[in-house]
Amino acid sequence: MLDRQVTLSQLKAFEAVARLGSHTAAARELFITQPAISKKIRMLQEEIGLPLIDQVGRSQYLTEAGQMLLEVCSDWLGVWGRFEQSVADLKGVKRGRLRIAVVTTSGYFMPRLLGPFCAEFPGVDVSMEVLNRDRVLGRLSRNEDDLYVMGLPPDDIEVDCRPLVENPLVVVGSSKHPWTRRTSIPMSWLAKEQFLVRERGSGTRIAMEQRFAEMGVELRVRMVLGSTEAIKQAVAGGLGLAILSRHAINPLSGGRGLVELPVAGFPLRRSWYLVTPQGKRPSVVAQAFLQFIDEHLEMIEP
Ligand code: PGA
């Protein structure tokens, strides 16, 4: 009986009329005509065998059966709505766009995740911007991407952030540097060395300057270079020392001619963070990527 004839669209029409108190308002909300609403409710009443709505003058009242059906409808339509959302979400992962912006140094490991992620979700179109911290923050403040990776989350933009993996900053020298034979080097010796540093706005540079200031050691800048790769080449060529993320000098990142020097006070222990604007609900594709990262963290450990 009931289960054969009552349709979802009849229940939606009834719920809208009961909630809004008028056929006209319900018709407007559901994008159908008023006679179509009346017909659905008439058929629903016939199926149930009791009146659901009483018309007194121009006002409408729910009958007792109508009250009971409204409760059931509200619960059931809520469950149905969540089901429809989940189905849409499942479809969403098949197709969609993922926008990520990462700071320069995380460009050494984040792209490694993209190959297997795209293989698992071939319909997803991924773009990854690799920029310095300042420019990533600019994109974050304009809400241009689904998620961001950086070593130093902002304190002037409301964000949700969670630690990803370690980001140790180490002192790097040429493999021909005389300190490579030492087992430990006092931090104060750094004051005698020349450094190759990243441009202003770089997170690595901010962390490095903070550590030198904390330790009361003067930072002597030999040259400012806007790229970590250029710094690595200059250090390997014997132009000076640098403070770099261990991610940038590991064998996968091409650390030829470079060594990590055992300076006291280093590595500078930091983390990489996954950052999103506070309260931003991640898209289905972004959620799939976040879960993918959780399951493949070993691929990006330093
Ligand atoms: P950077 O940022 O690549 O801009 O130096 C790295 C970091 O924040 O650790």
For ligand 1, atom 6, which residue shows the shortest CA distance?
Answer: 203
Quick: pLDDT tens for 245-300: 998 998 777 778 899 999 999 999 999 999 999 988 888 889 899 999 998 888 88
Q: Given a cut of 60, is residue 1 above it in pLDDT?
A: no
pTM: 0.66
Cα 113 to middle of ligand 1, angstroms: 19
Q: Given a cut of 70, is residue 2 above it in pLDDT?
A: no
List alpha helices for 121-198, DSSP H.
133-141
Percent of residues, the chain, with pLDDT higher than 70: 97
Rounded (10°) CA dihedral 118, 162, 280, 114: -10
Average pLDDT of the chain, as a whole number: 89
pLDDT score for 29? 80
Higher-pLDDT residue of 223 and 121 is: 223
CA dist 197 → 161, 224, 227, 242, 256 (Å): 27, 5, 9, 6, 19
Q: Given a cut of 90, is residue 88 above it in pLDDT?
A: no
Cβ of 96 closer than 6 Å to ligand 1, yes or no, is no
Q: Given a cut of 90, is residue 42 above it in pLDDT?
A: yes
DSSP 296: T
Cβ of 105 closer than 6 Å to ligand 1, yes or no, is yes
Q: What is the mean pLDDT of residues 49-65?
A: 89
